[in-house]
Amino acid sequence: MTQSTNEPEPMVETDNRQKAQARRLALQALYQADAQGDDFLDGSLIDFVTQSTTDISVRLLAISMAKHAWRYRSISDDWISRLMNQWSLSRLAAVDRSILRLGIWELTAGTDTPPRVALDEAINMAREFSTAESSKFINGVLDAAYKQHRLTLGGEGKTAAKPEP
């Protein structure tokens, strides 16, 4: 499986509300893929997104985000494992793991999402789909990942990077 994230995003105009909706659908898709495996993204993702919204821009962006974040998951999982200080990835609630995977992909894979937006959206999704404690945990992990990512890049640019050992 390739880890390439250089595929272009869909060329569709979206506003912040649409992006937030697409991000939530992508999170739900990642959660399903975590439970069902690649088969969900290969077979059921389009049906899930189509049933969830009539907005074509949201559909296209949600599908793209889910597929990119899923392909990037081994890198995201490396980040998460390193930053959780001896906490096993399998011990995380599936929704928290999915939020972290999506957030780390947005923060480190060269997406056009501003870092503050990616962090805020992840925290809000944790409050919405998980617990208040999870939102604090998500904030801590993603903030540490973003800071380490910036250090790895010398404070500039946004290209995929693996965590420091």
The predicted-structure confidence for 54-109, as pLDDT tens digits, reads as follows 999 999 999 999 999 999 999 999 999 999 887 788 899 999 999 999 999 999 99
pLDDT of residue 43: 85
| Exposure on the CB side of residue 66, measured as CA atoms within 13 A | 29
What is the pLDDT, as a whole number, of residue 8?
43
Sign of the dihedral through C-alpha 35, 17, 102, 71? positive
Q: What is the mean pLDDT of the chain?
A: 87
Read off the amino acid at residue 142: L
- Three-state secondary structure string covering 119-134: HHHHHHHHHHHCCHHH
% of the chain residues with pLDDT over 70? 85
What is the reported pLDDT for 165? 46
**In angstroms, rounded to a whole number, what is the distance separating the alpha carbons of residues 121 and 99?**
9
- Which token pair is 10? 């869909």
**Structure pTM?**
0.85
Helix and strand element counts for the chain (H, E): 8, 0
Q: Which residue has the higher pLDDT, 28 or 84?
A: 28
